[in-house]
Structure 1
Amino acid sequence: MGNRAPLPFMLAILAAVFAFLYLPISVLFALSFNEGGMPTAWSGFSVKWYYSLFQDKDIIHAALNTLIVAVISTILAAILGTLLAIGVEIRRRKGRFLETMIFAPMIIPDIVLAIALLSFFSLLDVTMGLHTIIVSHVVFNLAFVCSVVRARLKGFDWSIVEASTDLGAPILVTLRRIVVPVLMPAVVAGSLLAFTLSVDEFIIAFFTAGAGRASITLPMQIFSMIRFGVTPEINALSAIVMTVSVVILAVSQRLNRGGLPGQ
């Protein structure tokens, strides 16, 4: 651009946007190291609230449930999402209806999807628990994995698949030795994104967990704690969850930046 006069103004807007987004998070991180019992008044630096988290059996139990749900749902979503992306690209048939069906869980509000899944499980008379949360998270994460893998498939050279077939390689061998290695960075990136979404997801898990504390997840535990007021433990727990989510998302974006071989 020849005219650089608006640059300071644009930088000011950018700084204001980043401050609006990250200043509350920075305050939460700072208060998680607050020594005093008041969660909003600074009285000194301490890490005792982080230590107390690991002494809370309810939080540990919720964290283990979250880890179980996130790992299993991520594995299933990665497999199904990758196969869905390959199948859609092989058909080479584009259309709004197909795109809508694939990406509907991404654009439908979580509360609507949660109610739909709850109604579905109730219709089938399925007992709620961790297994229903896992199935629900697979439905929710499937579209995200598919979209990441499809983005990598846009530049995929399908002639190498045809060459493999012409040389007599079975389709499973072609997938294992040609297609999957090329798609692996996107699969890993989509899996990390799905894992992060599953760890942070609250509404769908809340509706499909059923009664009792046996299937409570970490976001549900935070919600039950915050109803009685914000405490330093909640600040510390939220800081840990945010840190893990940001790190995983950063790794996912880093993996998804790589192009196809030769590009």
Structure 2
Amino acid sequence: MADPLSTGVGGAGERRAKRFSVQTMPGFTIMAALCFIALYAPLFPMVFYSFNAGESIAVWQGFSWRWYESAWGNELVKDVTIRSLVVACFASAIATTLATLAALGTTRTEAFKGQTFIYVIINQPLMVPEIVTGVALLVFFAMIKVATGYTGLAYLIAAHTAFCIPFAYLPIRARLEGMDKTLEAAAADLYATPFQAFRRITLPLMAPGIVAGAMLAFVISLDDVVITELVKAAGQDTLPTYMLGQLRRAITPEINAISTALLAITVVLLTAIFFLTRKKE
């Protein structure tokens, strides 16, 4: 016959052993649904009316690819799109390189004094309002322009790079922190040089984090408006700033079509980031 006391203690232990899950709290499903509705409901009308045959953005006049064809044949849209891609590619490549070096320097070493302060400095653009960063870059680059006379696209690339570094840093750092350091120690025990251990062990394992960081930096750069609007010179519009200018003049479904195309690119890249960074079972 089982001891009632021991059974009771065992039952209490089993109850205590159950892990807390926020999904079991009352109202969780409703709140989650409301959050998704607030975030994504405005996107559906935009996508829907991008296929509108008429010029109205609120009155449906039939299905048509008219505005996608119009955007595709618009030479100005092509120019600003190419400029956006050039800036995003350069900025994401430079930001990812710097973020990789920073992540290695803050995760593959023993804990040191000031490490938390370095994290704060690297992630500063995430905590400071974007308008503040934009104004600071505007003033800083204005001083350089006065001194050098150069007004090219490099300022825009540098501004996007500075803003994108923390976005690239976070997935790379997360990947490095999840890696087992004993593999690198084993490589050292087998007489591998530090460079050989990095090239054959560390780099291949952290590659998904690097790719994810580069993709995230690319998306952030491609979509940026505030910093671009403040830093760009005349004739250096990117696709988002061009769209902002068009909205100030006249709104047509062509803007919806361009926005939908940007949304599709963003969704594809973020989906790729998710699959690259998720933990394998």
Structure 2 counterpart of 1:231, from 243, 252, 269: 252
What is the distance in 2 between the residues matched to 1:185 and 1:242? 23
Evaluate the alpha carbon distance shift between residue 47 and residue 175 of structure 1 in structure 2; reply closer, same or farther with a 3 A threshold: same
The aligned counterpart of 1:36 is 54
| Counterpart in the other structure of 2:238 | 217
CA distance in 2, matches of 1:5, 1:85: 36
SS of structure 2 residue aligned to 1:54: helix
Helix, strand or coil at the partner of 1:168: coil
Structure 2 counterpart of 1:186:
209
Determine which of 153, 158, 161 is the counterpart of 2:181: 158
Q: Which residue of 2 aligns with 1:107?
A: 127
Paired letter, 1:96: T
Shift of 1:230: 1.8
Q: CA deviation at 1:90?
A: 2.7
Distance 2:103 2:128 in 1: 20
Asked if 1 retains the 8 angstrom alpha-carbon contact of 2:49 and 2:57, the reply is yes
Whole-angstrom distance in 1 between the partners of 2:79 and 2:186? 51
The residue matched to 1:258 in structure 2 has which SS?
A: coil
Equivalent of 1:177 in 184, 200, 209: 200
- The residue aligned with 1:58 is 76
Contact 1:36 1:42 in 2 (8 A): yes
Distance 2:238 2:124 in 1: 25
Report what 2:101 is aligned to.
Answer: 83
Runs of 4+ in 1 over 4 A off after TM superposition: 4-7
Question: Structure 1 residue 11: deviation in Å?
Answer: 3.1
Distance 1:74 1:41 in 2: 40
The CA deviation string for residues 82-119 of structure 1, in whole angstroms up to 9 with x for no partner, is: 11100111333364322211110111111111111111
Give 2:224's aligned amino acid.
Answer: E
Amino acid at match of 1:137: H
One-letter amino acid matched to 1:216: D
Structure 1 segments unaligned to the other structure (5+ residues)? none
Render the CA deviation track for 1:189-219: whole Å, top value 9, x for unaligned.
1111111111101111111111x21x21100
Q: Do the aligned residues in 1 keep the contact of 2:106 with 2:115 (CA within 8 Å)?
A: no
Q: Which position in structure 2 is the counterpart of 1:200?
A: 223
Q: Percent identity?
A: 32
Task: Report how many residues are paired.
Answer: 255
Residue aligning to 2:4: none
Q: Tell me how large the CA RMSD over aligned residues is.
A: 2.0
Deviates more, 1:68-77 or 1:158-167: 158-167
> Does structure 2 retain, via aligned residues, the 8 Å contact 1:65–1:130?
no
Match of 1:19 among 37, 43, 48: 37
**Mapped partners of 2:65, 2:180: distance in 1:** 53
Give 1:246's match in structure 2, choosing from 261, 267, 272: 267
Distance 1:6 1:86 in 2: 39
User: Residue 97 in 1 paired to residue 117 in 2?
Assistant: yes
How does 1:126-165 map onto structure 2 within 5 Å? 127-165=150-188
Q: Which deviates the most, 28-37 or 245-254? A: 245-254
Report whether the alignment pairs 1:74 with 2:95: no
Shift of 1:239: 0.8
TM-score of the superposition, structure 1-length normalised? Answer: 0.90
Distance 2:138 2:38 in 1: 35
Query: Superposition pairs for residues 116-131 of structure 1, below 5 Å?
Result: 116-125=136-145, 127-131=150-154
If you compute each CA radius of gyration, which structure gives the higher value, 1 or 2? 2
TM-score by length of 2: 0.84
